[in-house]
Structure 1
Amino acid sequence: MKTLARYLITEVVRTSLLVLAALLGLFMLFDLMNEVRDLGKGAYSLGKLFTYVVLLAPGNAYELLPISVLIGGMFSLNLLNQYSEYTVMRTGGLSLARVLGYLSIAGVFFALLTLLAGEFLAPVAERTATQLRLAAKGQVVAQDFRSGFWLRDKSSFINVREVLPDQSLHYVNVYLFDEQRRLRFYGYADRGVWQEQTRAWRLSDVYLTALDGERVNVTRLPEYMWHSVLTPDTLSVLLVAPEQMSATTLAGYIDHLRKNKQKTSRYEIALWSKLFYPLACLAMLLIALPFAQTQKRAGGVGVKLFIGIMLGLTFYFVSKLVGHLGLLYDWPPLLAATLPSLLFLTLALFLLWRQERR
């Protein structure tokens, strides 16, 4: 029975990994086509473009793993059924409970793989990829200083102490140097809000200091429209989307928001999703089993793959939809994060129960 278990688990894992590799290749092609239009801007060479696309792969793998497990599980189990191998296993005394146990082992393996990608690989890789892309286009960003993050715009250096979740700025400092690297201008603003219509920041409580030799002129303005290389798109490098953060980063940021009495719903949903998303791989394998058992011996592989892709896409979009609905209607974060996986797990158990009754 150990040989049988090893054979069944190996087939499911091998096929699922092949599907994952195929999907990753497809998504890398899409990313490559999307980035070609920026090729040649600044120092954004072909080599850096390929590096950027490769660094996006862990994040894509994290998103695609449950879908790959579903399609791979359906395909491998369907082939076993077509060649009567699965039928021989069942008639030889292999119970449904043991089959579920073997599939659960494969599901746990993919759950750990998903956890590894989402917690350790994807956040670091995506952050590195975006910084590489930004630096190649002539912008240098540093964000790990206690004084906030720094950004260079030609002869100016921009320092922002705080960036709120709505991407508004607090404590903005701008330093302008001349060609001899002497400070000629200093600007300070208490707050900045992005204006999409004018593509500029509306700064409030502004102090402008001009240095001209030994003379210093200080001007105070209630508001000032500031056009800068710093945009919300640039901030997306520094403010990583909650879904792309690691669980430990999310937990720390949620604690920070609570201490400052700010809303944490979006980040709590993202945290619980991070913790429970790997279990979706187990649900996908349980769904694959009843579909494989009901498949006729002749043909039907194309239909099986189509069903698997549709179910995988449904799971992906339902997860996104439930997350947005939970945020909109203030559902409990744990419910919003686990509902999609629970729905698909319930569907799998129902299909197995219905099939065993026949």
Structure 2
Amino acid sequence: MTVLQRYLGKEVLRSVFFVLLAFLALFAFFDLINELPSVGRGGYQIQHAFLYILLGLPGYTYELMPIAALIGTIYVLAQLASNSEFTIMRVSGLSTTEAGFMLAKIGLVFVLITFLFGEVISPASAERAERLKQQAQGSTSKEFRSGLWTKDLIKDASGTVTGSRFVNVGELLPNGQLKELKLYQFDLELRLTSMVTAASATFQGNKRWRLDQVSETLFAPTVFDLNTLPDAAAGIATTKLANKELVSEITPDLLSVTFADPDRMSALDLSSYTRHLAENKQVTERYDIAFWKKIVYPFAVFVMMALALPFAYLHARSGGVSLKIFIGIMIGVSFKLLNSLFSHIGLLNTWPPLATAVAPSLFFLVGAIGALWWVERH
């Protein structure tokens, strides 16, 4: 059985990596077509486009690994079936359960690779790719025409929350510096206490920012008292400062997460950002779903390989190898589409994030079990 495990493992690994390489080449070609219109803008040249595409390949590797595992395994099992090798294995005592365990051991390698790319390589390369493009084009990150909006809590030295702060960032430069910053600070009763504008902000570390060219407007509590409305102007004071220190939980890394695609972020970053949103009483469903997808998605490799196993029981008269591969491609595309569809439907209908992430894999797992039951019966 050890010899058979090594033989099957070698063939499956070779086929899966070949399929993955073919997919990566195809997606790289499409990305190159999409990047060509951007070449020539600022300092963005063809070599930057090639490097940008290269840095995006780890993300595709993570996304395509389950599909590549499905198609590569189908190819190997279909070849074994067409050459009657799998029939000989079954006659020699190989049961469906044993074949499934053999594929699961091989699939564990792909699961670990998928985790590695999803948690370490892809987030780092995606961030590096975006910075490369922004630096080459001389552009900055913007979320809306009015800039990027985020929320922060105001805490005293003991860590007690004393109010809230709404932050508007006009531009986020590739080096993490902020431009055209506006801060609207409120007390616990949601009364506006101050409004701060700054031409720029530079992160100093340890949750501290240095604001430059600052204008600070303070509002006394009596400003919002209807009984003292005629004298409200007396409670407003504006000062100009060359610079000012700001203590905030917001960091450049946290702001860059706002611009990032949640599907390209690591589970650790998603967990950290979701915690920040929850502390500020903001909606977290989108990032919760992305977090659980990050945890669940690598295990979809096992589901895809389970779907491939029934193809070993189909003889040549049930269709050639090319037909089985085509069916595998259609199953893989369906899985990818259903995975994306459930994410959007779950977000719209506020389904539990874990259920939203697990449902597509469970659906295909049930299909794999049903297919195995059918081929064994027939």
Q: 1:257 and 1:185, CA in 2 relative to 1: closer, same or farther beyond 3 A? A: closer
Amino acid at match of 2:179: I
2:230 aligned partner: none
Match of 1:310 among 330, 342, 345: 330
The question of whether the paired residues in 1 share the 8 Å contact of 2:82 and 2:316 is answered with yes
Q: 1:62 and 1:187, CA in 2 relative to 1: closer, same or farther beyond 3 A? A: farther
Q: Report 1:66-81 matches (<5 A).
A: 66-81=66-81
2:366 aligned partner: 346
The Cα offsets for residues 35-74 of structure 1, whole Å up to 9 and x where unpaired, read as: 1111122211222111111000000111111111111111
Match of 1:326 among 346, 355, 370: 346
2:31 aligned partner: 31
Cα offset for 1:246?
0.5
2:5 aligned partner: 5
Q: 1:264 and 1:157, CA in 2 relative to 1: closer, same or farther beyond 3 A? A: closer
The question of whether the paired residues in 2 share the 8 Å contact of 1:71 and 1:305 is answered with yes
Q: 1:173 and 1:188, CA in 2 relative to 1: closer, same or farther beyond 3 A? A: farther
Matched residues in 1 for 2:107 and 2:277: separation?
A: 35
Amino acid at match of 1:158: K
Q: Secondary structure at the match of 2:342?
A: helix
Amino acid at match of 2:301: C
Cα offset for 1:172?
6.1
The Cα offsets for residues 266-288 of structure 1, whole Å up to 9 and x where unpaired, read as: 11111111001001111001101
TM-score by length of 1: 0.76
2:64 aligned partner: 64
The question of whether the paired residues in 1 share the 8 Å contact of 2:197 and 2:214 is answered with no
The Cα offsets for residues 69-117 of structure 1, whole Å up to 9 and x where unpaired, read as: 1111111110111111111111111111110011001111111111111
Amino acid at match of 1:280: A
Q: 1:75 and 1:339, CA in 2 relative to 1: closer, same or farther beyond 3 A? A: same
Q: Secondary structure at the match of 1:72?
A: helix
The Cα offsets for residues 15-44 of structure 1, whole Å up to 9 and x where unpaired, read as: 011000000011001111111111122211
1:82 aligns with 2:82: yes
Question: Which structure 2 segments of 5+ residues have no match?
Answer: 142-151, 153-166, 184-194, 201-211, 218-236, 243-254
1:257 aligned partner: 277
The question of whether the paired residues in 1 share the 8 Å contact of 2:16 and 2:72 is answered with yes
Cα offset for 1:134?
0.9
The question of whether the paired residues in 2 share the 8 Å contact of 1:174 and 1:188 is answered with no
Q: 1:171 and 1:289, CA in 2 relative to 1: closer, same or farther beyond 3 A? A: farther
The question of whether the paired residues in 2 share the 8 Å contact of 1:83 and 1:297 is answered with no
2:47 aligned partner: 47
The Cα offsets for residues 307-329 of structure 1, whole Å up to 9 and x where unpaired, read as: 11111010001001111111111
The question of whether the paired residues in 1 share the 8 Å contact of 2:81 and 2:314 is answered with no
Cα offset for 1:306?
1.3
Matched residues in 2 for 1:69 and 1:106: separation?
A: 10
The question of whether the paired residues in 2 share the 8 Å contact of 1:185 and 1:208 is answered with no
TM-score by length of 2: 0.72
1:174 aligns with 2:199: yes
Q: Report 1:289-300 matches (<5 A).
A: 289-296=309-316, 300=320
Matched residues in 2 for 1:29 and 1:297: separation?
A: 36
Q: RMSD over aligned Cα, in angstroms? A: 3.2
Q: 1:260 and 1:245, CA in 2 relative to 1: closer, same or farther beyond 3 A? A: same
Matched residues in 2 for 1:260 and 1:26: separation?
A: 42
Match of 1:247 among 255, 260, 267: 267
Matched residues in 1 for 2:377 and 2:173: separation?
A: 68
Matched residues in 2 for 1:173 and 1:188: separation?
A: 9
2:295 aligned partner: 275
1:158 aligns with 2:179: yes
Q: 1:82 and 1:239, CA in 2 relative to 1: closer, same or farther beyond 3 A? A: same
Cα offset for 1:140?
6.1
Amino acid at match of 2:91: T
Amino acid at match of 2:330: M
Matched residues in 2 for 1:85 and 1:306: separation?
A: 22
Matched residues in 1 for 2:352 and 2:78: separation?
A: 39
- Give the fraction of aligned pairs with identical amino acids, expressed as a percent: 41
Cα offset for 1:357?
2.0
Q: 1:10 and 1:258, CA in 2 relative to 1: closer, same or farther beyond 3 A? A: same
Cα offset for 1:291?
2.3
Q: 1:261 and 1:4, CA in 2 relative to 1: closer, same or farther beyond 3 A? A: same
The question of whether the paired residues in 1 share the 8 Å contact of 2:32 and 2:50 is answered with yes
Q: Secondary structure at the match of 1:261?
A: coil
Amino acid at match of 2:295: L
Q: Report 1:120-159 matches (<5 A).
A: 120-139=120-139, 151=172, 158-159=179-180
2:100 aligned partner: 100
The Cα offsets for residues 114-146 of structure 1, whole Å up to 9 and x where unpaired, read as: 1111111111101100110111012367xxxx9
Q: Secondary structure at the match of 1:56?
A: helix
Larger radius of gyration: 2
